[in-house]
Structure 1
């Protein structure tokens, strides 16, 4: 079982485990008796009930049947799947390639009105040029060993990025200065990508801030993971191994407060353009 990096997932797992425990107690049976009825070890019952091991759909059905609560199985399975969707490994999301991942997220992008993005590693997807996206996705496919559908995935990402120019959307984007110097693809690709950043800065819907490498980190003293806030309801956090979805109000508040402080560290307008031009000049 992976170690979940946010309490949102842990809380969802714990809530499900508590509901299963309540079913057992309401049925008036011990953990040992439940294990006998389900045909598994007492240790397994304990691990599930204490949220140490996530149950499978089959486990939940067996648990409900053992407790005479078959009618609750469907709701519990749905809750279990929702908890599971909060932490999803990239190898699972990209098991058939990367195109599908771009397409399935398109409706979320289309209905979001305010995007707040903190980019600590790479240029945000909706600002990537086709050349940059192709180089980045090619590297990801090679590293993760996923099916190579890079060309199709790039086309899907470009289509998804139409939200930058179409519809009623606003974008507050923060990019660490080091991202401008992290070469994805060759110098020509990077020059095109950096030039694109200069162009989108002129869009009325786009606020693009660059956080200088020399910025004081007294309030935010460490590099954060890359994340995207969709309105005020949902955050996607990008880890090396997985994508984490945050929806718990307390955690949403933490990320929003962090974004506000990072916003104060960034420079905008002419100062931001100067940092981008500096990165372009460094390519020569």
Structure 2
């Protein structure tokens, strides 16, 4: 399994591995003896204890039974599954289609009071129009070599985006100006997307900022795409996976970065002028 670049994910994985290692040692078993009781090669025990291989629920039950600690299996399985959720590969997440992936985020958005989104390359998902989302999601399906249900996924994404109109939420969106020029779909789809940004930016619950390409003396370089859900979770989008950051120190770092990026953005009339300039460039 790919090692997560997030210390939150790796720390959670190592914590499970350490608990399993302690169970073996407390039972007075060697690596080889535990492996024999579980019916696998001793190298697998070492890989699990060194957090190189994530244990399956069955692995954990066998381990706990071998160490005479079956009563601890349920908690360890839960901890291991939580560790796996912190680093989730896109290929695994989209096996059943991209539409189901869109639906899986709805509850998270509904439970977030303040959502801060920074996107250097794409229009944020909650602000995407049908044509733009369809082109993007179909592109993702082709790249990941999975079923292309881009039309259904786009419809699910737009349905999910209705959360932006529900009371009790605030949104702060930041994009780099270059996002306005990366064309997804045909010119009509792109024009519709840019036109919607003019409308969405005027919603009272939304703050929409654009960091101009010509910003002089940037205080922070462009970052990876990330969402900050209140102050409890940061979701980072990588090419191969989604990393969920839960350690307070890491979350604080992302919040600090967001505020520095936010300080370079323009809003209101200045932001609309940049969008209108991009619309004109389509013709």
- Shorter-chain-normalised TM-score: which range? over 0.9
Equivalent residue number for residue 10 of structure 1: 10
SS at match of 1:118: strand
Equivalent residue number for residue 100 of structure 1: 100
TM-score (norm 2): 0.96
> Superposition pairs for residues 97-136 of structure 1, below 5 Å?
97-136=97-136
1:147 aligns with 2:120: no
Report the alpha carbon displacement of residue 264 of structure 1 after superposing the two structures with TM.
0.9
> Superposition pairs for residues 129-208 of structure 1, below 5 Å?
129-208=129-208
SS at match of 1:262: helix
SS at match of 2:227: strand
> Superposition pairs for residues 1-284 of structure 1, below 5 Å?
1-216=1-216, 218-221=218-221, 223-284=222-283
CA-based RMSD of the aligned residues comes to 1.3
In structure 2, distance between residues paired with 1:79 and 1:114:
27
CA contact (8 A) 2:233 2:244 kept: yes
> Given the superposition, is the C-alpha separation of residues 208 and 30 from structure 1 closer, same or farther in structure 2, using an over 3 Å criterion?
same
CA contact (8 A) 1:234 1:246 kept: yes
In structure 2, distance between residues paired with 1:11 and 1:281:
49
Report the alpha carbon displacement of residue 217 of structure 1 after superposing the two structures with TM.
5.3
CA contact (8 A) 1:115 1:172 kept: yes
Displaced runs of 4+ in structure 1, greater than 6 A? none
SS at match of 2:13: helix
TM-score (norm 1): 0.96
Report the alpha carbon displacement of residue 42 of structure 1 after superposing the two structures with TM.
2.6
SS at match of 2:234: strand
SS at match of 2:207: strand
CA contact (8 A) 2:218 2:264 kept: no
CA contact (8 A) 1:216 1:265 kept: no
SS at match of 1:251: helix
5+ residue gaps in structure 1? Answer: none
Report the alpha carbon displacement of residue 218 of structure 1 after superposing the two structures with TM.
4.6
In structure 1, distance between residues paired with 2:20 and 2:250:
25
In structure 1, distance between residues paired with 2:98 and 2:217:
35
In structure 2, distance between residues paired with 1:275 and 1:246:
33
5+ residue gaps in structure 2? Answer: none
In structure 2, distance between residues paired with 1:270 and 1:15:
50
Aligned residues: 283
In structure 1, distance between residues paired with 2:160 and 2:184:
21
Report the alpha carbon displacement of residue 193 of structure 1 after superposing the two structures with TM.
0.6
